Structure 1
Amino acid sequence: MNALLTHALDAHGGIDRWKTLTMAHATIVSGGDLFAIKGMPQDPTPREMTAWLHQQHASALPFGAPDQKTDFTPDRISIEKLHGHVVAERNEPRKSFTDHDLDTPWDPLDRAYFNGYALWTYLTTPFLLSMPGFTVTEIEPWREGQELWRGLRATFPPGIASHSAEEDFYFGPDLLLRRHDYHVDIAGGFAAAHYAYDIVEADGILLPTKRRAYRRDADRRPLLDQTMVSIDISDVRFI
């Protein structure tokens, strides 16, 4: 395993602890301009997010109505009643984003798919990078103020849905996650600089509770005049 990744995993609670856990539950409040651009403005309702840790599977509750939830895997997205009735579903959901640009409207299933893969990624970082099929290499560090953040470039395997096939993760002097860079392929491929902070410990795992994603310029600097996505995470439990 890559040495920097090994140290980052240790800093976030350790791979041995991670292997004993199966699921994460968290309360999330999300917002940002991306959802308005997509015709899906986000309300401030807290939602319960569930992520399975060792397979890409996630669910958000409520979604669209108080008695509805999402069910996400890379190959299928659905909106379901709590008793199991399927309200809407889409197989091979990634294909529905073909030829999308930033201004292309989303429907509720598009929104649910984005929510599913994004929150699964955030609740499992950096441990997902140790899963089979990932290729991880150290890259040039990023200087942020007085700190130098070491970076990892990860190539995602085809079976894992995420923003893009290649993404960069930056870690501070304490080896905790500070920033996550990617292209949002399902929204025209715009380049994002995604900051993560306010680290907490939950059941032996350390993770950020605030995330803010901005567009970035050609020099990788964030364009701070517009918050594309904001996520506040609380009440995190691992089981």
Structure 2
Amino acid sequence: MIELLSEVIEAHGGSARWRELTRAQATLISGGHLFEAKGLPQEPMSRVVTVLLHEEHASVTPFGAPDQKTDFRPGRVAIEKLDGQVVAERIDPRTSFAGHTLDTPWGPLDRAYFNGYALWAYLTTPFLLAMPGFTVAEIEPWQEGHETWRGLRATFPPEIASHSTQQDFYFGPDRLLRRHDYHVDIAGGLAAAHYVYDYVESGGIVLPTKRRAYRRDPNGYALLDTVMVSLDLSDIRFS
């Protein structure tokens, strides 16, 4: 493991504590222009997300109806009743996004897939970068205001569903994540600059509770006029 990644993992709670844990749960409120563009504007209601930490699996409750939830894995996404009865499902869901642009409408299963992989990554960053199959290298730092943020470029393995194969993560002098850059491949390759802040500690793990994603211009600067995705987390529990 490269030195910067080791420092980053230690700042967020350490690998020893991470290995002791198996799942995380949090209350979330999400919104932003992306969902409006997809024809799925978000109501400001709270939901509960549950993820496994050492394999890519996530669920959001409620979803579409008070007695429904999502069940996401990279090879399958489903909407289910709380007792597990399948309402709708899609096998190999990534292939269904072929040819999508930013303005291509999404249905409920599309949103469930996006929710699943994105929330799993957000609740497991930066520890996921040390998982088998990831390739990580330090890149040029990013200057944001008066701070210099050191960067890691991660290449995701094909078995992990995510925004894009290559993603950049920037960390402050305290080695906590400040910004996460990627392309949303399932939305026409939208270039995103994703800022995180308002850190808390839960169960020995340090993580941000607020996330705001913006478009990113060709020079890497965030276009702050429109929030593409907003995410607020609370009541975070690791177990």
With structure 2 as the length reference, what TM-score do the two structures score? 1.00
Partner of 1:27: 27
**Matching residue's letter, 1:15:** S
Partner of 1:194: 194
- Regions of 4+ moved over 2 Å: none
Partner of 2:127: 127
> Deviations for 1:175-205, whole angstroms, at most 9, x for unmatched residues?
0000000000000001000000001000000
Unaligned runs of 5+ in 2: none
1:118 pairs with 2:118: yes
> Deviations for 1:20-71, whole angstroms, at most 9, x for unmatched residues?
0000000000000000100111111100000100000000000000000000
SS, match of residue 225 in structure 2: strand
SS, match of residue 129 in structure 1: helix
* 1:22-171 equivalences in 2 (<5 Å): 22-171=22-171
Identity %: 70
Unaligned runs of 5+ in 1: none
1:177 pairs with 2:186: no
The structural deviation recorded for 1:159 is: 0.3
The structural deviation recorded for 1:207 is: 0.2
SS, match of residue 56 in structure 1: coil
Provide the C-alpha distance between the structure 1 equivalents of 2:25 and 2:83, rounded to a whole number of angstroms. Answer: 20
The structural deviation recorded for 1:210 is: 0.2
SS, match of residue 16 in structure 1: helix
Aligned length: 239
> Deviations for 1:48-102, whole angstroms, at most 9, x for unmatched residues?
0001000000000000000000000000000000011100000000000000000
Partner of 1:208: 208
Structure 1 vs Structure 2 CA RMSD: 0.4
Provide the C-alpha distance between the structure 2 equivalents of 1:174 and 1:124, rounded to a whole number of angstroms. Answer: 19
